[in-house]
Amino acid sequence: MKRNNQLGFTMIELIVVIVILGVLAAIALPRFTNIQRDARIAKLNAARGAVAAATALVHGTSMARQNQVQPACAATGTVPNIAITGTGTLCTENGVVNVTLLYPAPTLAGVVATAGVVPSAGAPTNAQLNVEGYNTVAGAGTIQVQVQGGAAAATCEFDYTAPAVLGAAPTISAVTTTGC
């Protein structure tokens, strides 16, 4: 007796494989498209962490150098000075940083320059920030750091608010990621 061996797949097997591939594509595809949003959120968290660390370092250095004569800054040649009031300038590897009440000032030349989110010596410009995917919005005693590229940069941000009085600490808000 001769047997007839079939080669290939049955229609049921093909349909099952197509259904499985469709389900995998429906689950995996949205996850892959969300990677850019995740990258913007990670960038925002990294900038916030850099601001928090730089703020602590500037505060400690400002306290140590408050009302003390300092040598000229190698990058600019200017002599930094932290007055008894806690305001002035401080020399860092990123250049001269503006200080308010012993913490970085809420400006491009203050907290943004201190954090080093833009690879430049001195105070970064908004154009340099835009190239790196950031934007800032200054307010009264505060600066908002935004990450661009999402649905709304105004809601992909965190705020740095300078202390109101000497002896108080600045406030760094939690990140807002709804627009990332």
Q: What is the pLDDT of residue 118?
A: 84
* pLDDT (mean) for 99-119: 91
Lowest mean pLDDT segment, chosen from 24-33, 97-106, 154-163: 24-33
Position 18 in a domain: no
Residue at 69 is within a domain: yes
Domain encompassing residue 148? 35-172
Domain count along the chain: 1
CB-based contacts of 12, cutoff 8 Å, min separation 6: none
Question: Which contacts (CB < 8 Å, 24+ apart) does range 140-143 have?
Answer: 141/106, 142/106, 143/106, 143/107, 143/108, 143/110, 143/111, 143/112
Q: What is the token pair recorded at 87?
A: 């305001």
Q: Is residue 91 part of a domain?
A: yes
DSSP sequence for 32-64: HHTHHHHHHHHHHHHHHHHHHHHHHHHHHHHHH
Residue 80 has pLDDT above 80, yes or no: yes
